[in-house]
């Protein structure tokens, strides 16, 4: 239950961070920024603590934050939410996803995700006694207007495989865009096809949009809940961790129709009940200001380009992301067919840590198309990225 392989191991992110710490490697594995979010937001937390906001907040979140989340969804995406019944605050996106899956999935129900997938999805589907159906993403040639060299590949949805995956037991489509680990951002056309798929098979949708602000170039984030007919069947999850660079505060939220949100709250009241009292008013203030995530996205786009060029110089082929903290690189051109083996030896070989993409795929799929891929994060200071690239080039 606790790991894709069934062994009670720490997550791949914890394993690789421990390996980086033990070897002194530069940690481009676990995705967390090395620069904190805005000082104003930190100051508001300190003030909230001094003002005595230290006891249980309301179980669904403080009104100011629920209102700020509703306002954010309205301002950016035209979604009109009632902060009293259609918004709840959670202990990060992780709790929101877990509570949503446990709330909506009955034993034996099938939950469709794409593969690779975020590691918490199969674990919480198993906790709900659901059945995880993973549909591998496919690779397509890059278009002329997309970054990358000739012959570059991009991740995309295989709609024929998705259609084949639907059964009478399909219950939930669990989406993630911008997508961890690939950095793929679903286009309006792909989202419309997914909405059509969900409607035809009468699926509920849980959509993990934690990287909603972190998109690059011409890519735009569009919540599937904003498409015609989709609001009523969709729970949308996001988090202050990525939007505001406070991953350790673990404040997230879930929005949607009152009946689905209420079902999530029924679960949540027994997972954490409430949390994050002094953080919530500060995040409410920060969510009203798009300057911080806009500047973060612009600087991440530059750091993506630096890491992408460096990885290619070091001999990897890269699959360019349109969003998130992450870039996927293929070790096969360097002669490494097994990404898991490479990720576990790279800290000693080169002094750099990364995440094997196979850890975010079904166990046992050892000949799968993602076997030689590694995920590197670029949410690090540019000098750190440069140093990591220099080490990889030197070890080549």
Q: Which of 29, 33, 37, 92 binds ligand PMP (CB under 6 A)?
A: 92
CA distances (Å), origin 340, targets 4, 6, 155, 318, 355: 14, 17, 20, 17, 8
Contact partner at residue 331 from ligand PMP, ligand GLN, none, CB < 5 to 8 Å by partner kind? none
Nearest distance from residue 357's CB to ligand GLN, in Å?
Answer: 11
In a 3-state reduction of DSSP, which class is residue 156? strand
Nearest distance from residue 132's CB to ligand GLN, in Å?
Answer: 18
Using CB under 6 A as the binding rule, whether residue 252 contacts ligand PMP is answered as yes
Residues ≥6 apart with Cβ < 8 Å to 264: 88, 96, 99, 100, 103, 235, 254
Q: Which of 31, 286, 293, 323 binds ligand PMP (CB under 6 A)?
A: 31
* Nearest residue (CB) to ligand GLN, 31 versus 275: 31
Residues 176-215 that bind ligand GLN (CB under 6 A): 180
Using CB under 6 A as the binding rule, whether residue 15 contacts ligand GLN is answered as no
Nearest distance from residue 220's CB to ligand PMP, in Å?
Answer: 18
φ, ψ of residue 23 in degrees (nearest 5): -100, -5
Contact partner at residue 176 from ligand PMP, ligand GLN, none, CB < 5 to 8 Å by partner kind? ligand PMP
CA distances (Å), origin 67, targets 16, 41, 292: 38, 17, 19
Residue 181 and residue 360 in contact, taking contact as beta carbons nearer than 8 Å: yes
Residues 152-181 that bind ligand GLN (CB under 6 A): 180
The interface region with ligand PMP, picked from 65-73, 91-99, 295-303, 329-337 by CB under 6 A, is: 91-99
Q: Which of 180, 207, 255, 358 binds ligand PMP (CB under 6 A)?
A: 180
Residues ≥6 apart with Cβ < 8 Å to 29: 13, 16, 17, 20, 343, 353, 354, 355, 375, 377
φ, ψ of residue 253 in degrees (nearest 5): -160, 165
Using CB under 6 A as the binding rule, whether residue 31 contacts ligand GLN is answered as yes
Cα–Cα distance measured from residue 227 to residue 137, given in angstroms and rounded to the nearest whole number: 22
Name the residues that contact ligand GLN, by CB under 6 A: 11, 13, 30-31, 180
């Amino acid at each position: 239950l606790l790991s894709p392989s069934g062994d009670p191991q720490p997550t791949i992110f914890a394993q690789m961070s421990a390996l980086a710490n033990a070897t002194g490697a530069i940690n481009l594995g676990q995705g967390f920024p090395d620069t904190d979010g805005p000082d104003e937001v930190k100051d508001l937390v300190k003030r909230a603590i001094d003002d005595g906001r230290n006891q249980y907040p309301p179980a669904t979140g403080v009104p100011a934050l629920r209102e700020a989340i509703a306002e954010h969804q309205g301002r950016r995406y035209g979604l009109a939410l009632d902060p009293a019944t259609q918004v709840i605050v959670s202990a990060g996106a992780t709790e929101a996803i877990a509570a949503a899956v446990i709330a909506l999935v009955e034993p034996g129900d099938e939950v469709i995700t794409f593969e690779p997938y975020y590691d918490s999805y199969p674990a919480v589907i198993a906790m709900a006694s659901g059945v995880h159906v993973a549909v591998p993403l496919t690779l397509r040639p890059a278009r002329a207007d997309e970054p990358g060299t000739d012959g570059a590949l991009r991740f995309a949805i295989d709609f024929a495989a998705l259609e084949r995956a639907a059964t009478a037991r399909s219950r939930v489509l669990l989406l993630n865009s911008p997508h961890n680990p690939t950095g793929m951002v679903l286009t309006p056309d792909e989202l419309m096809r997914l909405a059509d798929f969900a409607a035809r098979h009468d699926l509920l949708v849980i959509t993990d949009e934690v990287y909603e602000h972190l998109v690059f170039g011409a890519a735009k984030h569009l919540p599937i809940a904003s498409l015609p007919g989709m609001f009523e069947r969709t729970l949308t999850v996001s988090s202050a961790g990525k939007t505001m660079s406070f991953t350790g505060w673990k404040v997230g939220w879930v929005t949607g129709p009152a009946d689905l949100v209420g079902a999530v709250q029924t679960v949540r009241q027994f997972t954490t009940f409430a949390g994050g009292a002094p953080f919530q008013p500060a995040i409410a203030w920060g969510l009203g200001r798009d300057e911080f995530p806009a500047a973060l996205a612009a600087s991440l786009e530059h750091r993506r380009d630096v890491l992408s060029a460096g990885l290619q110089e070091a001999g990897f082929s890269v699959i360019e992301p349109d969003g998130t903290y992450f870039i996927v690189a293929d070790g096969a051109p360097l002669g490494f067919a097994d990404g898991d083996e490479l990720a576990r030896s790279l800290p000693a070989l080169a002094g750099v840590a990364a995440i094997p993409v196979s850890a975010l795929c079904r166990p046992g799929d050892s000949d799968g198309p993602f076997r030689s891929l590694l995920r590197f994060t670029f949410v690090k200071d540019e000098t750190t990225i440069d140093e990591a690239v220099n080490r990889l080039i030197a070890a080549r």
